[in-house]
Amino acid sequence: MQNRTNTLLQVIQNRILILDGAMGTMIQRYKLDEEDFRTPELANHPKSLKGNNDLLSLSRPDIIRQIHREYLEAGADIIETNTFSGTTIAQADYELSHLAYAINFESAKLAREVADEFSAKEPNKPRFVAGAIGPTNRTASLSPDVNDPGYRAITFDQLAEAYAEQVNGLLDGGSDIILVETIFDTLNAKAALYAIQEVYEKRNIPLDPKDGGIPIMISGTITDASGRTLSGQTTEAFLISVSHVPLLSVGLNCALGAKELRPYLKVLAQNAPFYVSAYPNAGLPNEFGAYDQGANEMADQVRDFLKEGMLNILGGCCGTTPEHIRALADMAAQFQPRKFEEVIEEEESNV
């Protein structure tokens, strides 16, 4: 594990790393039905399981393995585990909280197997697994009841406990990175970071990747043209809120297309003492909720980020496919990664 961390830290200094694209978009192409989501043990489960994509790591690992393979063939350096909703909290909607650990373990194991297969074929292009942690379907900062603004559907401690179980499963399955993504409420993210710190301490894993620790990536979501997260933070405030942990990277994903994301990425590029990541959607959704932006159009919009030296990690979120990732990888290969040493030097000179 420490060797893979060292390799990652070396590679990221020299080029822009490519993250994979959307898992859900690719799963939709398979036109799955209820039976595809049921393992033999869940044959008589009383609730409908269709749409519980994380469960496919147990019921249809062949599909998840193939999606990982397609993204790696397209040029991805990092693949995300199929665990966006892999907490006891999110799985409670399906009455499957008891499977949370297994979902994370098996998802990481699947990704690890495919990443290792590609690393063995191309030793000069090592592949990495990012254990994906989504925001859950509860928010710690906002009330779901407009008539009771003080009410909260979840507590910090409940979030931290659920995240800790997820992190343990992702690590046991072989993740190289822990990625807390699509953050709409920074308090949820702080609970995730707290859980990661607790798990690392118990497992005797250094927090700082420079000390051989398992790197942590953070990716927030600016929800609209207001330039704020759902819980009301600006990009700069979000950055400050998560900077107490020695992160590998901080970035933005989801909600917006590349063109709309640019001003907020610029804030991170100018201020973050970490590497910067971005994985925007394939444009904005149409009136049917679908994403129409093609691979070349998306790559053209991303070119501006790359020209200005804003990024170290680039990928795609909703609506993106291996075609998008291939176009982004080809584009990124023409540019140098962002250098953030100046940001750190400036901060130190101001101390």
Cβ-based neighbours of 190, under 8 Å, separated by 6 or more = 156, 241, 242
Helix, strand and coil percent figures for the chain, each rounded to 5: 50, 15, 40
Rg (C-alpha) for the chain, rounded Å, is 19
Cα distance between residue 157 and residue 257, in whole Å:
34
Alpha helices in 122-175 (DSSP H): 156-172
CB 21 within 8 A of CB 324: yes
Orientation of helix 61-73 relative to helix 322-332, angle to 10°: 30
254 is in an annotated binding site: yes
Neighbour order of strands in the sheet with 216-220 = 17-18, 313-314, 275-281, 249-257, 216-220, 177-183, 128-133, 78-80
Taking CA atoms, 98 is separated from 41, 92, 133, 165, in Å, by 13, 9, 17, 11
- Spatial separation of the C-alpha atoms in residues 37 and 56, rounded to whole Å: 6
Beta strands per DSSP E along 147-282:
177-183, 216-220, 249-257, 275-281
Helix (H, G, I), strand (E, B) or coil at 11: helix
- Ligand-binding annotation for 154, yes or no, is no
CB-neighbour burial class of residue 11 (10 A; exposed 0-12, middle 13-18, buried 19+): middle
3-class secondary structure per residue, 310-327:
CCCEECCCCCCCHHHHHH
For residue 317, say whether it is annotated as part of any ligand binding site: yes
Q: Could you list the residues known to form a binding site, using ranges.
A: 254, 317-318
Q: Could you list the residues known to form a binding site for Zn(2+), using ranges.
A: 254, 317-318
